[in-house]
Every structure is written in C-alpha cells, then in structure tokens.
Structure 1
Amino acid sequence: MSLPPFQALVDEHWRDVVRLARALAGPVDGDDVAQRAWEKAFAAYPKLTSARNLRSWLLTITARCATDLHRARKPQSPLNEDLPIAMDGPDATDWPDPDLWRAVNALPERQRFAVTLKYVGDLDHHGVAAALDTTPAASRRLVSDALATLRSKLGVDDD
C-alpha cells in the first residue's frame, strides 16, 4: 500500500480541517486545534495501513483535538458558556447566522459535535460515529435530536 506524500494530503484537505476546527473550537482557538490535528496526523501518517478515506481520518483527528481542548478547559471554567463554538471575540462577525451558532453552542456537547461534524465537516454517519466513538445509529440519533432542538429554538417548521 502506498500513501500519497503528506504534503499532498495537506494541500487537498487543509480547508476542511481548518473549517471544522473553527466550527468546533471557535474562531480564536480553531487555528490552534487545526495545527494540533495536523501534528497528530503527521505523527500517525507513517503507521497508516490504508489510504482509504483519508479525509474522514483527518476530520476525526480534528474533532478529537477539539474535544481535548474543551476537556482541558472544563476544570478551569465551570460555566463554559462560549464553548465549543465561541461567538464572541474579534472574528464573531465572520460567522454566518450568529443566532444559529448560538443555538448550536447551547446544545449538549455530543449533539453539538455530531451536528457540526455532519454539516460543517460533511461527514456521513459512519464518519461522525468514528469521530465520537459511537455507532452510526447513535450518530443519527444525536444529529436528529440536535436538529429537532435547533428547529424548536429557532422557530423553524418542518413543513
């Protein structure tokens, strides 16, 4: 099995990694999460046994790096009102539909991560499940519950 050069992987997927990192960690910490994800991917790359679905592999690493960031902060900040999607700070105006992101931010952590991986990371339920260490059925449920909550909070009808 032959893996593409790591730089080719970076060139092809850097936007996806940064976009997901910023969605999960906020515009301020997102770049640090993306950098950490690339470091972990680089260290693990020589040991990969399959070149299948490298994008999903990268986004899973990115999600886990964002999770690590939030877990590291929890003891320091018991209210965590701005995690994981920080809507304050200098880049807050760069986020489209801030009301939506505030509602996403208010979701329980696993729902927040699942819906972000699905719709920002563009992962299928198998990819979301892999990133969250759960099953595809549980991933579907997390996303479904998150969407129902968001529709309710934002006053969106299912019609």
Structure 2
Amino acid sequence: MEPFERIVTDHGPVVLRVCRAVLGPDDAEDAWAETFLAALRAYPDLPPGANVQAWLVTIAHRKAIDMLRANRRRALPVGDVPERPAETGRPDAWDGDLWNALRALPERQRAAVAYHYLAGLPYREVAAITGGTPDAARRAAADGIRKLRGTYPAHPADQTGADR
C-alpha cells in the first residue's frame, strides 16, 4: 500500500478542482481538507487495486453535499464581497467567472461536469457517486458542457460570434 502522503500529492489537485467546481471558491479548500481527513481514517481499509481517485472523489462528493446542506441553513451575508484575483500565480488559481458559469448549472449537471471532466472519472463511476445511470450522467455532463460553452466561451472570438 503506497504512503498516504503520496496519495495526497498525486490526487490532491484533482480533488481540489472538483471541490471548487461543485462548491465554489469559498468552501472548496475546507471540503478538500475534510475529504483527506476522512480518507486518511479510511485508507487502511481500502481494498488493494481500488481506484483511489474515484474513491477520493466519492468522499469529496459526500463532503460537498454536507457543506451544501450546512450552507443552506446559514444566514445570508449582508453584502457581496468582491472576488480577488489569485495572488499566488499557481496554475490552478481559481477563475471567478468560471465559478459563476458553473454555479448557474443545475446541481446534477455541475456535479457530472466536475466528476467527469475535472476528475476524469468514467460515466459509470459518476453515476455511482451522483445516483442514476451512466447514460443519465453522460447526458447531464453533455448538457452542462453545452451550457458552459454558451456562457463561458473558450475563445474571445466566440463572444462576438465570429468563426474560429
């Protein structure tokens, strides 16, 4: 069994991207930390040959659901705090516009996009995490990506309607 520190190093960035896509920039790091705390406790019981990344994304999904439920019970903030650009220069620095586009997606589409496109999980595993069938997960991810492309163009020319 490989050391848990290596698991964090190898899979931590993917789990953080998934947490950011599902929860947004404010709660993502807390969910990431909660995910790896829970994983550390359960790691000794992980069967040999298990898909570690899918296991971690499943834990992150459950932590995200817990945080979403907790956030629904909290009081609403008085005013909007402007998002600041990342100062670290890290390649995984968060893009607030992307979060706004992701937040506009229905919850199932946002989860399917995060788990399939950011975590790289096959639709079968996305369906196991979110509930439903692989075909439903595929449809939700495709619908989510289509909506994202409409609201968050990949190329500046897409915003003006010009051909690439």
TM range (shorter): 0.7 to 0.9
Instruction: Could you tell me which runs of 5 or more consecutive residues in structure 1 were left unpaired when the two chains were aligned.
Output: none
Partner of 1:26: 24
Residue 57 of structure 2 corresponds to residue 46 of structure 1: no
Larger Rg, first or second structure (1 or 2): 2
Partner of 2:120: 122
Q: Deviations over 1:21-74 (max 9, x none)?
A: 222222232111100000111111122223321111112211221121011111
How far, CA to CA, are the matches of 1:12 and 1:89 in structure 2?
A: 29
Partner of 1:58: 56
How far, CA to CA, are the matches of 1:50 and 1:43 in structure 2?
A: 16
Aligned residue identity for 1:95: W
Residue 83 of structure 2 corresponds to residue 89 of structure 1: yes
Aligned residue identity for 2:3: P
How far, CA to CA, are the matches of 1:99 and 1:69 in structure 2?
A: 22
Q: 1:151 to 1:15 in 2, by over 3 A?
A: closer
How far, CA to CA, are the matches of 1:106 and 1:145 in structure 2?
A: 13
Partner of 1:106: 104
Partner of 1:69: 67
Root-mean-square deviation over aligned CA pairs: 2.9
Q: TM-score, normalised by structure 2?
A: 0.74
Instruction: Report the Cα offset of residue 153 of structure 1.
Output: 4.2
Aligned residue identity for 2:22: L
The DSSP-based 3-state class of the residue aligned with 1:27 is coil
Q: TM-score, normalised by structure 1?
A: 0.76
Q: 1:59 to 1:115 in 2, by over 3 A?
A: same
Instruction: Say whether the 8 Å CA contact 2:24–2:99 is kept in structure 1.
Output: no
How far, CA to CA, are the matches of 1:17 and 1:149 in structure 2?
A: 23
Q: 1:88 to 1:50 in 2, by over 3 A?
A: farther
Partner of 1:16: 14
* Percent of residue pairs identical: 38
Give the total of aligned pairs: 149
Instruction: Report the Cα offset of residue 119 of structure 1.
Output: 1.7
Q: 1:153 to 1:14 in 2, by over 3 A?
A: closer
Aligned residue identity for 1:33: A
The DSSP-based 3-state class of the residue aligned with 1:28 is coil
Q: 1:10 to 1:112 in 2, by over 3 A?
A: same
